[in-house]
Structure 1
Amino acid sequence: MDQYKAAVIGAGPAGLAVVATLLDQECIPILWIDPNFEAGRLSNYLEVPSNTKVKLFQQYVTTSPSLNRFSSKALMPFVGQDPDKGCPLNLAATMVKSLTDSIRKADSTRVHCVQKVVKELAFSEGRWKIDGADECERVYLATGSHPRSLPDTGVEELLLDDVLTPTRIPELVTNDDTVGVIGSSHSAILALKNLHECATIRPKKIINFFQSPLLFAIYKEGWILYDNTGLKGEAADWAKQELQSGNLEKEKKLERICVKDYSPEEQVKLWQQCTKLVHAVGFDRNPLPKILFNWDELKQISYDPHTGKIADGLYGCGIAFPEKTVDPYGNQEYAVGLWKFMCYAQKKIKL
């Protein structure tokens, strides 16, 4: 049985930020566990444009001394990119993978990496035990989330991750399909854009079902209004040009239906006009390990959105356990993004 100061479960951007912060504070040895060590879900979105500026990806690296050691190689993909604009997420995924590989190689005596899925966390006598073996003082869950699925409607559901990948569109739809996209989020807008702009195939009809009107991030002096909920980057530009203007509706290329005042049953009837549906509303946590606290199983997992604390010595971070923020106007949002994960780790992990 090995003893560790901390364990980090998950090797996506949030898990990497926590490992880097622990290294910065000399909280070692660290146990780092992930089934793949391939940048987490970020590696699913290689063709997706970011809603984050390049300079924030760069700051993610340079803010942590432990990551900054590897900055010359990790930031190579961003050479020539405008720091004040977005970029394809494959550049960010390549960066995270490069940093992960560098830590695994250079810090192998301080960070023990294990490639597996954790099945059980058990706390007793002031320590956490992982799968009945390794012990540590604290555990950080950076286990990620996945797009929320629809209830059964009788209509074929297309996976959001697939629709967000333009090169997959010809395999997903035909010229005879009516495709419904549910939502008005960043992901929903990109799904609409990809379906409309596919060069080789285009659905007979595209319908956007939404409850909330288009919301755009507004850049203020030193902060961003609707930073986490508003549209940014390429998605915002396309939404303004094609949706907010009404261009696509005028050209009969897309229909938008507000379902705010419809009952769930009425919404399902509308969806059933379609032959295929894309759900782009919200994310659910990936499955967590079984968690035992003093021999009692924690079945309803809750956390403090300001500190990440789930239980004594157990913390959540990343998209599964995001930080709640309040902007100068009093709006509450959950902060999601690489730079925000790093800020959260640097701010909240104090040993």
Structure 2
Amino acid sequence: MGSSTCFAGICPQQSAEADVLVVGAGPAGISAVLALQLQKRRIFWVDPAFQSGRLARYLTVPCNTKVDILAGDRNFRHPLLQPVASCVTPALQKLIAEAEPLAESTDPSELGWTTLGSCKHIYDAVTTGLSHAGGVSRCFGKVTRLTRVGSHWVAAVDAAGSRTSVKVQCVVLATGAEPKAAPLPNAMSAETTFDEALLRQRLRPNQRLAVLGNSHTAAVALAKLSELAGPMSLSITCFSRRPLRCAEWLEDSNVYRYNSTGLKGFGAVFGRKYMVHGTSWLEIKHIKEFLPEEWDWVIDCTGYVKSQLPTIDGVKAQELPRDEVSGALLGAPPGVFALGVPWGEAPGRLWGQGREAEDGFRGEDTFVGFAMFFARAGLIADEIHQVLECKQAA
């Protein structure tokens, strides 16, 4: 199967075969395709837009990883990117050139900081490179169902009204995550706060807003809201379970302490300034004091949940756990793997690169930025290699 693309719902054929189906074209899905393409697998790649996943919605959101790390060999100079280096290098050079220093940051950075929009440009470049790679077929659409037929998987793909079936040996689900939404009638998505025009449409003067959590997402949401707090006389309160935690850069070992649970970059600077004791436009309270009915809007910034996944033999994939070592979905027939943030990637614990601190926060962790996707993708590609080798030997 050579490189091909399905445009406007017209697939190369109404049925196809490949070694592996990859669902999703965000950072996790792209990492999976890179790792599998390196092993010369025939890949059928499905995504509704091929626009680097939800990064398209976060163009102006500050990245919480400094450019020094993004430009390193665990991130955008990772060996997996070598086959598409001609596409990636110009985008990476542009990211470095446009990086800016971050005033008041306690995290040393020679190259500065950037936005998720700049990271998206690099992933867009990778997608372009992969679209011309041999063995990769792209299809603009959505996988709705996976069915086990004998020793294979058959995927139903909806593409602009038409349907394609794909027969594969293994499947990698990398559909990404979306912010949690409080199950309340007055809930507002954190993503709404990232869009100033949309935010202005939703808000009214003198409204009361509750922001749940003190994560990087909460810091960005509060920063956006702070610009409207005065002009619109908004009353804003941030509720959290525990005090603000910032990651600490350990110069001697060149890693972060509390990387997984602490704020970095813009989030750390903003958090220290406003999210510890509050300020004229912001109150800080414990989550125990939160009463949903007291607020006009509730913005949940406590984490992310899995985006829509296909059913697997009639079972909702969202409900299936994942094996932390192999990446395989438990409770499903063999050959289905999952990759990405919503599956609770914990590379420090998984690969022995981190340690738990006594207070329950994660300790040192060398997998920063997008490194966790590349590392996990490599492990899953190795697992798939073993599956296919066993099938060939049978």
Equivalent residues of 1:74, 1:99 under 8 A apart: no
Q: Which amino acid aligns with 1:58?
A: A
TM-score by length of 2: 0.77
3-state SS, counterpart of residue 142 of structure 2 = coil
> How big is the shift at 1:173?
2.1
Distance 2:213 2:284 in 1: 10
Distance 1:23 1:182 in 2: 41
Q: Which amino acid aligns with 2:266?
A: E
3-state SS, counterpart of residue 23 of structure 1 = helix
Equivalent residues of 1:77, 1:95 under 8 A apart: no
**Counterpart of 2:389?**
none
Equivalent residues of 1:317, 1:341 under 8 A apart: yes
Equivalent residues of 2:50, 2:140 under 8 A apart: yes
> How big is the shift at 1:243?
2.7
Equivalent residues of 1:195, 1:203 under 8 A apart: no
Superposed counterparts of 1:1-351, under 5 Å: 1-27=15-41, 29-59=42-72, 60-63=75-78, 64=80, 65-80=82-97, 81=99, 84-104=111-131, 106-107=132-133, 109-131=134-156, 133-152=165-184, 154=185, 156-166=186-196, 168-198=198-228, 201-220=231-250, 221-244=253-276, 246=277, 248=279, 252-259=280-287, 262=288, 267=290, 270-292=291-313, 297=315, 300-310=319-329, 311=332, 312-324=334-346, 325-326=348-349, 327-329=354-356, 337-350=369-382, 351=385
User: Aligned pair in 2 of structure 1 residues 336, 285: CA closer, same or farther (>3 Å)?
Assistant: farther
User: Aligned pair in 2 of structure 1 residues 18, 184: CA closer, same or farther (>3 Å)?
Assistant: same
Equivalent residues of 2:96, 2:111 under 8 A apart: no
Q: Deviations over 1:11-66 (max 9, x none)?
A: 00110011011112222x11000011011011111110010122443343321122
Q: Deviations over 1:70-91 (max 9, x none)?
A: 2223324314126653311111
Gaps of 5+ in 1: none
Q: Which amino acid aligns with 2:136?
A: V
Q: How many residues align?
A: 332
> How big is the shift at 1:187?
0.8
User: Aligned pair in 2 of structure 1 residues 209, 124: CA closer, same or farther (>3 Å)?
Assistant: same
Gaps of 5+ in 2: 1-14, 101-109, 157-163, 386-394
> How big is the shift at 1:282?
1.7
User: Aligned pair in 2 of structure 1 residues 285, 298: CA closer, same or farther (>3 Å)?
Assistant: closer
Equivalent residues of 1:176, 1:204 under 8 A apart: yes
Distance 2:302 2:238 in 1: 12
User: Aligned pair in 2 of structure 1 residues 79, 323: CA closer, same or farther (>3 Å)?
Assistant: closer
Identity score, percent: 24
Q: Which amino acid aligns with 2:226?
A: H
> How big is the shift at 1:233?
0.5
Q: Which amino acid aligns with 2:183?
A: P
Q: Which amino acid aligns with 1:18?
A: A
> How big is the shift at 1:224?
1.8
